[in-house]
């Protein structure tokens, strides 16, 4: 079984504009989830969504920034 999911998408926009939507927490919230993301390697952050107590899920998705190469590569857990 593979341990990684990789997505490769093409957006017809300047790389800097796409990068802004991938790394600015306020813009990320528009298309993904609310978070306290900062594009700093080693930074812990959380995506926040609706809790689901029946599944013992508090609504927080705990993540860590692994790699930041503006505006080419962003990797996080």
Nearest to 41 by CA among 75, 65, 73, 70: 65
Paired strand residues for 65: 76
pTM of the full structure = 0.82
pLDDT of residue 7: 81
Both ends of the chain: CA-CA distance in Å?
A: 17
Give, for all 77 residues of the chain, the pLDDT tens digit: 778 888 888 889 999 999 999 999 999 999 999 999 999 999 999 999 999 999 999 999 999 999 999 999 999 99
């Amino acid at each position: 079984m593979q341990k990684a999911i990789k997505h490769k998408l093409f957006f017809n926009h300047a790389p800097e504009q796409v990068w802004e939507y991938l790394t600015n927490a306020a813009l990320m919230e528009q298309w993904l989830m609310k978070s306290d993301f900062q594009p700093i390697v080693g930074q812990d952050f959380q995506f926040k969504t609706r809790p689901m107590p029946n599944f013992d899920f508090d609504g927080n998705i705990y993540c860590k920034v692994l790699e930041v190469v503006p505006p080419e590569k962003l990797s996080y857990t």
